[in-house]
Amino acid sequence: MDASRPVLVVGSLNMDLVARCERLPREGETLFGTDFFTAFGGKGGNQAVAAARIGAHVTMAGCVGHDQFGTDMVAALTAAGVQTDSVLAVDRPTGTALITVDAAGANTIVVISGANMACDVALVDRALAGAAAPGLLLVQQEIPPETNTHAIRAAKAAGWFIVLNPAPARALPQDLLPLIDIIAPNETEAAALTGRSIGSQADALAAAGDLLQQGAAAVLVTLGRDGALYRDASRALHCPALPVQAVDTTAAGDAYLGALAAALAEGQSLEQGLGFAAAAAGLAVTRLGAQPSLGTRAEVSAFIVRHGRPQPVSVPG
């Protein structure tokens, strides 16, 4: 019998407009690109699809516009296995992201929030009320902060496990951190939240320590090609990334967190989940686009067979 807990993602839904070029343009510079394509994105949508393709029972709560982008977005979520009853169409344009990707896979992103700013507390309450049982709540910061705050408070009160991806970084209410089971920033976000410059594993561990002191139960700092560092009150772990040739790093962090959420929801240990998530992210960076890069359970498993499954190791905290 399937005993997986549900995963609820409250967050953003964007249409990505992606330009590829040899290098990223400098200020005031015009470059000729090598390719252009559109892809479904938004941190919320990406993480929901990543978890659903792994096999989690995922519900997405978010907003799109009464436009073709919005119609196509909902259809794509449904096709990926995401429940979309809590995706509402509103009188704002669907969120859009303008993305430039260079030959090494690095990117710059400009987001136009649009309908994402219509996500409100009523939407959260409906989504939580529709859940069969408490599970794992996954939130980011591309929707109004008051909606995120309400989602975390309401879900925690109802017994949910809370994962916050503080992206993009912004100040958090101090009384919110103690409600978060895992806060998962990248290096840039961890630096913004703690005021530390992060150039090494030791710096990331120190930043994680700062967030623990502020009340978070656990901190997961994703470090790109250097893997990820996890720290809670009793242990510190480093999980390496897989050494693959990246073609596009867009949504790599979302692939990681969606896969981790799916692993934890189905009862894998944290160590197992970190290794599985690292493999899912490794697969994603070998593909173009946000949601098109996110692997199914079978694809990630096959990738692990070819490249191995990273194993977390203890590090001095």
Q: What is the pLDDT of residues 106-133, one digit of tens each?
A: 888 888 999 999 999 999 999 999 998 9
What confidence tens digit (pLDDT) does each residue in 163-199 have?
Answer: 999 999 998 988 999 999 999 999 999 999 999 999 8
108 belongs to a structural domain: no
105 belongs to a structural domain: no
pLDDT-derived band at 317, boundaries 50, 70, 90: confident
What confidence tens digit (pLDDT) does each residue in 19-56 have?
Answer: 999 999 999 999 999 999 998 999 999 999 999 999 99
> CATH number of the domain that 181 lies in?
3.40.1190.20
84 belongs to a structural domain: yes
Two structure tokens written together for 73: 């977005």
Q: What is the mean pLDDT of the chain?
A: 94
For residue 143, give every residue at least 6 positions away whose Cβ sits within 8 Å of its Cβ, in sequence order, or none: 10, 11, 12, 44, 62, 116, 117, 119
> With 50 as the cut, is the pLDDT of residue 16 above it?
yes
Q: What is the 3-class SS of 48-112, one letter each residue?
A: HHHHHHHCCCEEEEEEEECCHHHHHHHHHHHHCCCEEEEEEEECCCCEEEEEEECCCCCEEEEEE
At residue 2, the pLDDT reads 55
95 forms bridges with which residues in the sheet? Answer: 14
> With 50 as the cut, is the pLDDT of residue 1 above it?
no
User: Would you name the residues annotated as active-site residues?
Assistant: 254
202 belongs to a structural domain: yes
> With 90 as the cut, is the pLDDT of residue 299 above it?
yes
Q: How many CB atoms lie within 10 A of CB 203?
A: 18
140 belongs to a structural domain: yes
Domain count, the chain: 1
> With 90 as the cut, is the pLDDT of residue 298 above it?
yes
101 belongs to a structural domain: no
- This prediction's pTM: 0.92
281 belongs to a structural domain: yes
Host domain of residue 254: 7-12+41-94+115-314
224 belongs to a structural domain: yes
| Sole residue written with tokens 């979520």 | 77
